[in-house]
Amino acid sequence: MKKVDFFTPIVLVLLVYDVEAKVFTKCGLTKELLNNGFERSYVGNWVCMIESESAKNTSKVTERADRSKSLGLFQINDKVWCKWGAAGGKCQVKCETFLDEDIKDDSKCAKKVQKDLGFRAWEGWMRSCYRRTLPFPNC
C-alpha cells in the first residue's frame, strides 16, 4: 500500500499537466485565433501576448507569488476567472479546461479578460507588446 500512496500523486500530476499538451507554431496559432472568432485587427496583439506569456504552449502553468496559478495559452489566472473541479469564477468555467489543447473555453474567457481589463491585464503584453506595431502575422 505504501508504494501505491507514493506513486499515485506523480501519476495524477502527469495526467493533469502532460496529456494533450500542444505547442502552436505562429501560423498555426494565428489560424486557430481566427477560427475562434478573434478580430483580425487584434490578432497581432494576441499572438505577441501569447508568445510572451505561454510560448504558445496550451498546458503552461505558472505559479504566482500569491500562490495563484496562471493557466494555459492565455495564462488566465485561477484566482478570479475559473474554478478547479467545477464551473465557476468570472468565466463560469472549470480551470482544467484551460490546460487542454482545445482553446475554445480559453478564447472565450480571454476575450472577457480583455474586455474587462484590456491587454494591460497581461504582464507579458506590457513587457513585449505595448507600444509596438503588431501587424497581422505574415503566414
Tell me how far apart the alpha carbons of residues 53 and 75 are, in angstroms, rounded to a whole number: 6
Tell me how far apart the alpha carbons of residues 84 and 93 are, in angstroms, rounded to a whole number: 9
Minimum CB distance to ligand NAG smaller for 26 or for 90: 26
Minimum CB distance to ligand NAG smaller for 52 or for 92: 52
Kindly state whether residue 134 participates in binding ligand NAG, applying the rule CB under 6 A. no
Minimum CB distance to ligand NAG smaller for 92 or for 128: 128
Residue 16 CA: distances (Å) to CA of 6, 61, 132: 17, 11, 36
Helices (H), 19-129: 26-35, 43-54, 104-117, 123-128
Residues 18-57 within binding reach of ligand NAG (CB under 6 A): 21, 23, 57
Contact segment (CB under 6 A) with ligand NAG among 16-24, 31-39, 78-86, 108-116 equals 16-24
Residues 54-73 within binding reach of ligand NAG (CB under 6 A): 57, 59-61
* Nearest distance from C-beta of residue 59 to ligand NAG, angstroms: 4
Of 47, 40, 103, 32, nearest to 72 by C-alpha is 103
Minimum CB distance to ligand NAG smaller for 17 or for 136: 17
